[in-house]
Structure formats: C-alpha cells, structure tokens
Amino acid sequence: MLRYILRRALIAIPTILLISVFVFSLQKLLPGDPVLAMAGEERDAATLEFLREKYHLNDPIPVQYFNWIGNAVQGDLGMSLRTRQPVTELMAEKLPVTIQLAVMAMIFALLIGIPAGILSAVKKGTVTDYVANVVALSGLSIPNFWLGIMLILLVSVKWQWLPASGYVPLSEDFAQSVKTMLMPAFVLGTALAATLMRHTRSAMLGVLSADYVRTARAKGLAERRVVLKHAFRNALTPIVTLTALLFGELVAGAVLTEQIFTIPGFGKLVVDAVFNRDYAVVQGIVLVTAIGFIAMNLLADVLYVVLNPRLRGQ
C-alpha cells in the first residue's frame, strides 16, 4: 500500500512541474506591465529600472522561472503588488473561508445526492425514478449565479431568514458563521448533488443486478438490509472516489458563488487580483489550487484501493 502511494506521488511531481510552467507563463501572457503597476502614477525611468532589477525582470525568462519556482518550493510566493503583503499570508487568511464553504457544500451534496441516487435505483422505472432524474438534470442545468440571486431575493430580502451576504469567522460566532454560509453552500452543493445522484444511481443499478444481491434476497433478508448493507456497501467505491474529486473542484470552483455572496475566500481574492493586475497573487492562488486538486486526486486513488481489496495485491 505504501509503495502504491509513493508511486502515485512520484507520478504527480511531473504534473506539478508542468502546471508551474503554465502558471508562470500566465503572467507573461497577461496584458500590462507589473512594474508600471508597482511604481504607481508618479514614476520615472530610474524607478522603473530599479524595480526591474529588484524583481529580476531583466533576467532571461528561464532564469526568472527558476528563481520563482525555487522561492515557491521554500514557501515564498512573492509579494502582493496592491497590499504589499506576502502572498502566502493572504492565502492563509482566505483558504479557511473557502474550505469551510466547500465542506458545507459537500455536506449538502452528500445528504441530497446519495439518498436520491439510491432511491432512484431501487425504484427504477417508476415515477420516483423519473422525478429524481428531472431534479438531477435541473441541478446540473440551473446556473449557480441565477440560483444564488433567487435565494437572496426570496430567503434574505422577502422572508429575511438568512443574511444576504458577508462572512463571520467560526472562531468569532459559530452560529452566525453557519448562517452566512448556508445559502452559498446550498448553491454549490445542488450541482454536486445532481452529479452524485447520477453516479450513485448508476453504481447501484450495476450492483443490484449482481448474483450476491439476488442470493441475499432469496435468503429472505429485509429489502432495506439488502440495499444498504449489501448493495450500497459494494457501490460505495466509485462514489467515494468521485466525492474526493468533487471536493477538489469545489475549492477551485467557488469563484462565482463567493462573488455573489461577498465571501472573502479564494475565489474573491483571485478575481480582485486579476482586476488589479496583482500577478503574484494570481500565480500563487492558481499554483496552490492546482496542487490541492492533484492532492485530492491522489487521495481518490488511495481511497479506491482501500475500499477495493482486490486491488491491494496488484
């Protein structure tokens, strides 16, 4: 098992290096000059040249890349041009917010998607199955921004049940923090719930037709026990793997939802950095997000082996 994990980790290293090259190249492709942004409106040729020398922008591009990746390996992702804060400090402030949003959204997705998928598979061909598929298709089709705006209009403005925007840290007020995250988490979770429902249904349909399930029913076991203990347990492997991958997508894809609900997380940070041409922040966020997604992919591979004993000896 340990050898498998190490092998998968070694395979991920070239991927991370390729991503780092792409992220570094992103700065060169973006319009504008970072030195002009740093110098401000009152600038002269001497100041511009000093900044270029300070940040090694006069060096050849390969040298600039190796300087940047060398610092990144040591935990130095540069300095924000707008706030003059280290990028690592900015990300350390925003990452817990996005992780909280992603965890709550995943809870919604699991509570809605898995039961709906099991019910749809057990009731295949019935009205329940068709309704579950229509709801899943709606969850995949409705844009997050539209659903978020509708929830704000109804839940916050009309009914005044939950705050429309903002964020309160968990350490300050746990209850209020959960309230501010409920709507954005639900918006993100509905699309994931639809995906989980479809995959759960597919996995359950494959398992429910297996011989051991028919044998369990022939023994007279209760249908609930057959479905949950025998069928769902064996259908869990692809579901867990998909959940790990979807969580990585959540952390990377919360940009629009955080903008709508004014949540100061990774998504809002990267949008503000793009508009302000804060290249170091954009590079740092994209690099860390990509590494996090690769880590979740690695976790999914490991979970697949843990849950499927037949693969442990291969």
Q: How many domains does the chain have?
A: 2
Supply the mean pLDDT for the chain. Answer: 81
Q: What is the pLDDT of residues 264-297, one digit of tens each?
A: 887 778 887 877 777 788 888 888 888 888 888 7
User: What pLDDT score does 39 carry?
Assistant: 66
Domain presence at residue 44:
yes
Q: Which residue, 146, 144, 99, is CA-closest to 265?
A: 99
Whole domain around residue 63: which residue ranges? Answer: 2-73
Let me know whether 91 and 38 are in one domain: no
Tell me if 298 sits within 8 A of 289, measured CB to CB: no
Asked if residue 81 belongs to a domain, the reply is no
Instruction: Examine the domain organization and report whether 118 and 151 are in the same domain.
Output: yes
pLDDT in tens, 167-221: 888 888 888 888 888 999 898 888 888 888 888 888 888 888 888 788 888 888 8
Residue 197 lies in a domain: yes
* Cβ(81)–Cβ(30) below 8 Å: no
Verify that 98 and 29 share a domain, yes or no: no
**Tally of CB atoms within 10 A around 19:** 17
- Residue ending a domain, among 41, 73, 105, is 73
Assess if residue 79 is contained within a domain: no
Look up residue 189 and give its two tokens: 């979770």
Least confident of 31-35, 158-162, 278-282: 31-35
